[in-house]
Structure 1
């Protein structure tokens, strides 16, 4: 198991916007992570709640950590990436609950020097919350 200290500085997310708390498992093709349930001080809280669409941000961060861990294992660095697309996103609930941790899983589907594509699933209390695909583009500007 890895904690934030293990990937600090490897991804651009920091402080409260580093949403993941633990990496439970990772290998060349996938990563499983856990994040504490959002509280009132969560950076994505609006009107006291976090919308389930933000599960995509958790997944994008899991993909970023995966890529950074792969690069570090290969003694390389990763180019800065930008979440460029979300596809086939399905939300099973409107809001993320505040009572239980989130389980985030990402699976790398394809990778080139310009982009990487992942499938993701986010669950809470073993119940599906969100799933879909994301594309991270390297060298893209917002």
Structure 2
């Protein structure tokens, strides 16, 4: 659908994450099935996921989940609607190739691919890279919470 960069200002209202917990910076491109986002928040000392001054690689799963949320919001908006809020219900086949990411000097790329989707649940594959080197990958499942 779009290969034009979309800034956080344009999509941030589509997800429930606010302030520093909104970890992604830009959407580089997206289609009906995929999303590519970019982030520098892993280097921010105020990143709310840091502990003991470090951001552990396990937290890259949250970057993947946020890319899923943004993708769902963009799809719903393109269809003239609003995405239902969702709950992350499982992570599978997670592979972490590094221990931490706060020491990575540049932007990280966050990719998501919708594997299955329906009225009440979605499954995505995600991967996070730095300069085309894999940092983390896995699959995530989300179940929708009805809009009230």
Give yes or no for TM over 0.5. Answer: yes
Corresponding residue number in structure 2 for 1:47: 52
Corresponding residue number in structure 1 for 2:119: 113
1:139 Cα deviation after fit: 1.4
Q: Which consecutive residues of structure 2, in runs of 5 or more, have no partner in the other structure?
A: none
Corresponding residue number in structure 2 for 1:134: 140
Distance 1:42 1:16 in 2: 6
Cα deviation per residue 1:71-96 (whole Å; 9 max; x = unaligned)?
00000111110111000000001101
**C-alpha RMSD over aligned residues:** 1.1
Distance 2:84 2:46 in 1: 31
- Give the TM-score normalised by structure 1: 0.95
Corresponding residue number in structure 1 for 2:69: 64
Cα deviation per residue 1:11-38 (whole Å; 9 max; x = unaligned)?
0001000000000000100000000042
Distance 2:71 2:129 in 1: 18
1:39 Cα deviation after fit: 2.0
Q: Moved runs in structure 1, 4+ residues, more than 4 A?
A: none
Larger strand proportion, structure 1 or 2?
A: 1
1:41 Cα deviation after fit: 1.1
Q: Which consecutive residues of structure 1, in runs of 5 or more, have no partner in the other structure?
A: none
Aligned residues: 140
